[in-house]
Amino acid sequence: MLKHLFWVGLGGIVGTFLRACCSFLFVTPWGTLFVNLAGCFFLALLFSWNQTKKVIPTVYHDALGAGVMGSLTTFSTFITEIFLLPFMIEKILYLMASVIGGITFAYIGYWLGRGGFRKEVINR
């Protein structure tokens, strides 16, 4: 159990570092949108790829999922930034872009993790 917690914690450090880098590279709230969409994509990719291939041990799967992706993406920052946007139309557009983009990127990541284009070409 301690080994498991160590790897999840280490993943959290990596995710926090990546989140801080994105905060410096992008103007708020777009940095949050970027990391949340990237997190949706990579978490779904990781989940579906490991579900299909079963090649990542649980401890490393959790380190990448709960650790890296959990600390990279932040729902509280997302909500705060919606609150801070000055105009209602900006709030609505940012919310829609985040939700629709998140679902879309998660679907693409899941699809790629299950074989993506390669699977369709092989089945034809």
Residues annotated within a binding site for Na(+): 70, 73
DSSP 74: -
| Residues tagged in the binding site annotation | 70, 73
CA dist., res. 40 & res. 97, Å (int): 13
Q: Which residues have CB under 8 Å from 50's CB, separation 6+?
A: 56, 61, 113
Contact by Cβ (8 Å): 81, 31: no
Cα angle for residues 48, 100, 105 (degrees, 5° grid): 30
